[in-house]
Chain A
Amino acid sequence: MAEKQKKRLMQGNEACVEGALYAGCKFYAGYPITPSTEIAEGMSVRLPKIGGKFIQMEDEIGGIAAAIGGSLAGLKSLTATSGPGFSLKQECLGYACLAEIPLVIVNVMRGGPSTGYPTGPSQADIMQAKWGTHGDHPAIAVTPAYVQEILTETVRAFNLAEKYRTPVIVLYDEIVGHMREPITIPAPGELAVVDREKVTCKPDEYFPYDERFEIPPLAPFGTGYRFHVTGLNHKKDGFPTNDSKQIGEGNMRIMRKIDNHLDEIWKNEEIGLEDAEIAVVAIGSTARSARYAVNEARSMGIKAGLLRPLTLWPFPDKAVTELSKRVKAIIVPEMNLGQMVLEVQRCSKKAEVLGVHRVDGEPINPGQIIEAIKSFK
């Protein structure tokens, strides 16, 4: 074990593989796509060695569908993709939300729309991660910015997926996915790993969507609990219903199970916000630029700070609202034409909100953010 904790240089996507395995992932199904392919490659080498299952499917849809199948059979399951592949996975993502099937989906964001700029970074899937699939549904997305953090946030994504019985998205940009940094792999036990709640009742008393539970436990297929799963609105026994009361209640429950636990799901990093007059809200590689910019601004005597959501969805409403009451301005740099800034505007009660945007495949550099900070001085 001592050897495992040695520092090593690792790529973001490789750290994602390490995180998934640390969390107990035993099933991967996916389709090759730049810039996320290293995750599939890594899982194809590692899973067979531990008796896990890896399959390269015929397309992106097959990838997520097979991963849902693997999860229903009781294995912690992962699929990974980018850009166009994330679009293709949306229907199945909604299925996993409604059927309440734990699953982790990694989306390494590349330039878009369409085929766009496959080897270039973007953060233009922020809204798609929340609203990409049709219908109202719960959404959890975690947004690491450092290679070490990709590992720990992938573990957290599995934990959230298993605990809340819902798909969780690990969302990071190409820069973070492809950069290499020294990291250490945590020893077993160092990070919490949440396993799916076991079903203990008798089979004839089991209901996969039992409304007496906030999050009903999910029995794996083939373990004596013969039940039905459908993507139709359903009753507590999993069978389709046309009853408006049952439809409404089912739709509300899958939202409520997340909304009632926001404080547990939210996670932010705050830098220099105690006395900040100007705040930056940023995720992923842009947050790294922002951190650099905030430090530079401080050295120029400007009281700047950074709020970095590690849980992007559900959006950290409370933190942003509180921040907006304390600061003069909030700057939202993001590699898109204005997505997260809309959420910050929604939550902001007083502060002025300014977006800094870029969609040319180049990162937002610290200089751009410093300029924005200085514009409020």
Chain B
Amino acid sequence: MSKRYELRFSGSGGQGMILAGIIMAEAAAIYGDKNAVQSQSYGPESRGGASKAEVIISSQPIDYPKATAIDCMLAMTQEACTKYHGDVKDGGILLIDTDEVKDVPKGKFKVIGFPITAAANSELGKTIVANIISLGLITELTGVVTHEAIEAAVLSRVPPAFLELNKKALQLGFDSAKALK
């Protein structure tokens, strides 16, 4: 991959979008053999509001740290989707939480929907792992990092008591994405 691969994780504060970005960057740069830069923008709220994290992945040194032509964007809320989808490039992927994003934006990108938060709740009993399910979905959909790298990155960030839960969340993402491709 000589060119930049751009990802954006967006949702509301407290949904773990920045953590998802960090994990993706670690999967690429620490547990993979690529370069990665993660950046974010957020409002004054620790909870609520629109929040986004961006990850640029490349096999080359990365200069500009922000996304301009997004290859894959995740939108966990309607507000974040409306606010941030504009930079998704033609042919890119917009992954939305179908229960949250009802007003689906039109564009030359591919929209993929999955009830991410609902799945976290019904399948795993914990809404908090919705961001980890997203990482599984994105990894499987884009192939930007390997399953092994994302798993190592997730597990390195999780307290021991929650290892199994997060493994399951990631696997749920991988498996669900196969049906969405």
Q: Does A163 contact B (CB under 8 A)?
A: no
Q: Is the CB of B112 closer than 8 A to any CB of chain A?
A: no
A175, A295, A367: the one contacting B65 at CB < 8 Å is A175
Flag if B64 contacts A9 (CB, 8 Å): no
Q: A288-B63, A292-B63, A365-B66 are in contact. Are A119 and B30 (CB under 8 A)?
A: no
Give bound CA distance, A365 to B39, whole Å: 14
**B68 near A8 (CB under 8 angstroms)?**
no
| Centre residue among B43, B62, B65 by max chain A CB count within 10 A | B65
Binds B, one of A44-52, A178-186, A321-329: A178-186
Contact A181 B36 (CB under 8 A): yes
B63 contacts which chain A residues (CB < 8 A)?
288-289, 291-292, 295, 366
A30 contacts the other chain (Cβ, under 8 Å)?
A: no
A285 close to B (CB within 8 Å): yes
Give the CA-CA distance A118 to B42 in the complex, in Å.
Answer: 10
Q: How far is the CA of A292 from the CA of B56 in the complex (A)?
A: 13
A7–B29 touching, CB < 8 Å: yes
Q: Is A363 an interface residue (CB 8 A)?
A: yes
Chain B residues closer than 8 Å to A367, beta-carbon distance: 68
Q: Is B25 part of the contact surface with A, judged by Cβ < 8 Å?
A: yes
Determine the residue in chain A with the shortest Cβ distance to B34. Answer: A182
B97 at the interface (CB under 8 A from A): no
Query: Contact: A180 with B35, CB < 8 Å?
Result: no
Residues of chain B within 8 A (CB-CB) of A181 are 29, 36-38, 62
Interface: B6 (CB within 8 A):
no
| Residues of A with C-beta under 8 A to B64 | 288-289, 292, 363, 365-366
> Within A1-34, which residues are at the interface with B (CB < 8 Å)?
7-9
Residues of B within 8 A of A366 (CB): 63-64, 68
Once the chains are docked, how many angstroms separate the CA of A182 from the CA of B37?
Answer: 8
What is the chain A residue whose CB lies nearest that of B53?
A180
Are A9 and B66 in contact, with the CB atoms below 8 A?
Answer: no
Whether, in the assembled complex, B44 has its beta carbon less than 8 Å from a beta carbon of chain A, the answer is: yes
Is B22 engaged at the interface, CB distance under 8 Å to the other chain? yes
Cβ contacts under 8 Å, A179 to chain B: 37-39, 65
Cβ-closest chain B residue relative to A363: B66
Closest residue of B by beta carbon distance from A364: B64
Task: Enumerate chain A residues within 8 angstroms of B66, measured Cβ to Cβ.
Answer: 175, 363, 365
Chain B contributes a number of interface residues (CB within 8 A of A) equal to 21
Q: How far is the CB of A155 from chain B (nearest CB, A)?
A: 22
Would you call B2 an interface residue if the criterion is a C-beta within 8 Å of the partner chain's C-beta atoms? Answer: no
Is there an interface contact between A180 and B43, defined as CB atoms closer than 8 Å?
Answer: no
- Which B residues touch A7, using CB under 8 A? 29-30
Minimum CB–CB distance from A113 to chain B (whole Å) comes to 18
Determine if B59 is an interface residue (Cβ-Cβ < 8 Å).
Answer: no
Report A-chain residues with C-beta under 8 Å of the C-beta of B44: 118-119
Task: Tell me the total A-B contact number using a CB cutoff of 8 A.
Answer: 58
| Beta-carbon contact of B26 and A9 below 8 Å | yes
Q: Mark A203-220, 1 if CB is under 8 A from B, else 0.
A: 000000000000000000
Residues of A with C-beta under 8 A to B65 = 175, 179, 285, 288
A119 proximity list for chain B (CB < 8 A): 41-44
Mark interface residues in A174-194 (1 if CB within 8 Å of B CB, else 0): 010011111000000000000
Of residues 7 through 49 on chain B, the ones whose CB sits less than 8 Å from some CB of chain A are 22, 25-26, 29-30, 35-44
- The residues of A that contact B35 with a CB separation of less than 8 Å are 182
Query: Which chain B residues lie closer than 8 Å to A178 at the CB level?
Result: 39-40
Tell me the complex Cα distance, A291–B65, Å. 11
By beta carbon, the residue of chain B nearest A365 is B68
Q: How far is the CB of A367 from chain B (nearest CB, A)?
A: 7
A367 to B43, CA, bound (A): 26
B169 to chain A: closest CB distance in Å? Answer: 21
Tell me which residues across on chain A come within 8 A of B25, comparing CB atoms. 9, 180
Complex: chain B residue closest to A362, CB-CB: B66
Q: Given the complex of chains A and B, what is the CA–CA distance between A8 and B25 in angstroms?
A: 10
Complex: A171 Cα to B62 Cα, angstroms: 21
CB-based nearest B residue for A145: B63
Q: Judge whether B39 and A9 touch: CB under 8 Å.
A: no
Q: Which A residues are in CB contact (< 8 Å) with B26? A: 9
A8-B36 in contact given A289-B64, A365-B64, A367-B68 (Cβ < 8 Å): no
Chain A residues with CB under 8 A of B38: 9, 179-181
- CB within 8 Å of A: which residues of B? 22, 25-26, 29-30, 35-44, 62-66, 68
Other than the given A8-B30, A119-B42, A295-B63, 20 more pairs (CB < 8 A) read A9-B22, A9-B25, A9-B26, A9-B30, A9-B38, A119-B41, A175-B39, A175-B65, A179-B37, A179-B39, A180-B22, A180-B37, A180-B38, A180-B39, A181-B62, A182-B35, A288-B65, A289-B64, A363-B64, A363-B66
22 residue pairs A–B, Cβ–Cβ below 8 Å: A7-B29, A7-B30, A8-B30, A9-B30, A9-B36, A119-B43, A119-B44, A175-B39, A175-B66, A179-B39, A180-B38, A181-B36, A181-B62, A182-B29, A182-B30, A182-B35, A285-B65, A291-B63, A292-B63, A363-B64, A363-B66, A366-B63
